[in-house]
Amino acid sequence: MPRINSSSELEKLRQGILANRDPQKPCITLCAGSACHATGSGDVAASIEAEIEKQGLSAAVDVRKTGCHGFCERGPIIVNHPEESCYFQIKPEDAPEIVSQAVKDKKVIERLLYTDPNTNEKIIYESEIPFYKNQERLVFGSNGSIDPKSIDDYLAIGGYSGLEKALSRMAPEQILEEIKKSNLRGRGGGGFPAGRKWEESRNASGNEKYVIVNADEGDPGAYMDRSLLEGNPHSVLEGLMIGAYAIGSHKGYIYVRQEYPLAVANLAIAIKQAEEYGFLGENILGSGFDFKISVHKGAGAFVCGESSALMTALEGRAGEPRPKYIHTAVKGVWDNPSVLNNVETWANVPLIINKGADWFTQIGTEKSKGTKIFSLVGKITNTGLVEVPMGMTLRDIIYKIGGGIPRGKKFKAVQTGGPSGGCIPENLLDLEVGFDELTKAGSMMGSGGMIVMDEDTCMVDVARYFIDFLTDESCGKCVPCREGLRQMLKILTNITEGKGNEGDIALLEELSEVAKEASLCALGTSAPNPFLSTVRYFRDEYEAHINEKRCPALSCKELIAYYIDPDKCQACMICARKCPADAVDGGKKKIHIIDQEKCTKCGTCFEVCPSRFSAVQKISGEPVPSPISEEKRIITGKSKEK
């Protein structure tokens, strides 16, 4: 690779790459992100490549393994260019048909198309599928079209032009002004204005300053940062470089979870390629600006997503937070000014520099500008990553993009903001997403996890789940968080096990208050949120658990029993055979009964009972009806036969 020393050389390189690319040349892009990989996209890629070779098309067709397309529910996904027809849930055995029909003969393969579950209509193009159609993919959009291992792919779509513009045509102060004007707010949780952080660091004294990418994405159910790093690492690097230039830093760190091996690998490749072209190193693009990046793998601690804890971890120590009377932007890593932003925040920077703050501020709401990537997961038809403009309503995200709740179930709540966030009930579904709007509703934006819950989800159990998570992840430094959460967990566990007492809710509220007031970092101060938001909107569920020993969602194991309705049971033996605990008694033509002593409440019988019978039921808050007599269990009549 040649070293690029100036703006004109960069432009020449870009033109050279584009000249060698024929947009009309057939190309199959295939999602190779972590989720599709888990569903077998690696095997699909291998079989498509083999098939192309077998049919003698190696020179005529390109195969590009891209990052995450976002529609994880339907993976592995391929898009056939230049027609742009897209196919879902591809298996290796589909390869011959794809190559001969779709690529060679340019025919549409009906059976692999997306079928709209509501209209049963087959849809050929990505842009017409509701999941994609209703999104606005500014940051995430290139993920599906470029190979993250190829810097040339990134350059071909205009990559590093933001860096070039910043270095050759803008003074650091101008960049800072532009970011401030754009009102770009931190995408990692807090929503703190990035420009203000940058300015503070720029004005801080000290020769050594750092810029840091926070890729310690710890919120369960959130994986947008991973997908960005895996699928478009250069966009994050470019943003980081621009930020470094603006604040006068020459050293950057990327703190990425070691649980994300593909992100770590793709980052290493991207850094190496950027160094080879001279976008990293000394005298970048002949501007005199020097910059280097190191990758630090996080060893697994949720609290390290907090800025001061992350910086302590970078120094090679246990990541405990410290008081921030002096901001980390002034005294951070080794007491030097350090700007820490989330992956998505950095990835927004090149866009703002390229297109200007005026363009950016047109998108979004008054106080929350731009777009946000959410990971829409849980009880939702279209699980995946979605990028929407700030201000879209939760209802539109869940129903228009997410396709609603599967299996005809009823929506109950959506949990946003990770463990520190909260649950938003149905009557607030028309809430517009934005930093302040979500906080007002008792939740928060967080990093963008959006977990949809249906009528089968118990809200007390959800609160218990998050408090359990946070108890485990508390670093132990502050007593209200370490001990308070432990007590909250104990009480919540008791409630879900039917051992709750009157006064428990008040006690939980009191503990919450103390943890909120007296913890040092955001983990402790926001830890009671899962409880506070569920008790705010679903108090009746808490009361049912405590007073009636009943779980309204029929989910808490200790409070439910499985029961076979003798009037509905057709003695088909399916549940008896599948029961792992051998708790179903019955035989052919003998109505089945669950032995409550043996039953482990795993729910297998409930799931396997054919829906046309629906004989297995869950009951809560009332005694299990006693079994019918032995004689009555024998099925004689014709009507009872299968």
Partner 1 sequence: MDNDRIDQIIDKHQSEASSLIQVLLAIQSENHWLPKEALKRISEKLQVPLTRIQHVATFYKAFSLVPKGQHEIHICMGTACHVRGATRVLDTVQDLTGIKPGETDLDFKFSLETVNCLGCCALGPVMEIDGKTHGKMAPGETADVLKSYE
Binding site for partner 1 (CB under 8 A): 34-35, 38-39, 72-73, 75, 218-223, 226, 258-260, 296-302, 313-319, 375, 377-379, 383-384, 415, 449, 451, 453, 457, 462, 465-466, 469, 475, 557, 578, 580, 600, 602-604, 607-608
Shortest distance, CB of residue 599 to partner 1, whole angstroms?
13
Q: Are 184 and 348 in contact (CB under 8 A)?
A: yes
- Tokens read off for 330: 């002034």
16 vs 476, beta carbon nearer partner 1: 476
421 vs 434, beta carbon nearer partner 1: 421
104 vs 557, beta carbon nearer partner 1: 557
- Tokens read off for 520: 């040092």
Shortest distance, CB of residue 638 to partner 1, whole angstroms?
32
Shortest distance, CB of residue 464 to partner 1, whole angstroms?
10
- In the block, residue with structure tokens 């120590």: 317
DSSP alpha helices (H): ranges in 456-600? 459-473, 479-496, 504-518, 522-526, 529-537, 539-547, 574-578
Shortest distance, CB of residue 151 to partner 1, whole angstroms?
25
Residues 6+ apart with CB under 8 A from 119: none
Q: Residues for the chain: how many in total? A: 642
Q: Are 551 and 620 in contact (CB under 8 A)?
A: yes
360 vs 465, beta carbon nearer partner 1: 465
294 vs 547, beta carbon nearer partner 1: 294
Give the span between the Cα atoms of 467 and 512, in whole angstroms. Answer: 11
Shortest distance, CB of residue 329 to partner 1, whole angstroms?
21
Shortest distance, CB of residue 29 to partner 1, whole angstroms?
19
Q: Are 414 and 387 in contact (CB under 8 A)?
A: no
Give the span between the Cα atoms of 385 and 116, in whole angstroms. Answer: 18
Sign of CA dihedral 130, 135, 136, 138: negative
Give the span between the Cα atoms of 371 and 419, in whole angstroms. Answer: 22
Shortest distance, CB of residue 131 to partner 1, whole angstroms?
12
Shortest distance, CB of residue 38 to partner 1, whole angstroms?
4
Shortest distance, CB of residue 614 to partner 1, whole angstroms?
18
300 vs 503, beta carbon nearer partner 1: 300
143 vs 415, beta carbon nearer partner 1: 415
Strand order in the sheet with 251-257: 292-298, 251-257, 210-215, 338-342
Q: Are 333 and 317 in contact (CB under 8 A)?
A: no
204 vs 264, beta carbon nearer partner 1: 264
Strand partners, 422: 416
Shortest distance, CB of residue 229 to partner 1, whole angstroms?
11
Q: Are 541 and 458 in contact (CB under 8 A)?
A: yes
Give the span between the Cα atoms of 158 and 469, in whole angstroms. Answer: 42
327 vs 412, beta carbon nearer partner 1: 412
Q: Which amino acid, 611? A: S
DSSP alpha helices (H): ranges in 278-342? 307-314
245 vs 260, beta carbon nearer partner 1: 260
- Tokens read off for 136: 């606005």
Angle value at C-alpha 637, between 633 and 642, nearest 5 degrees? 85
Q: Are 464 and 487 in contact (CB under 8 A)?
A: no
220 vs 281, beta carbon nearer partner 1: 220
Shortest distance, CB of residue 365 to partner 1, whole angstroms?
26
Give the span between the Cα atoms of 626 and 36, in whole angstroms. Answer: 48
DSSP state of 566: T
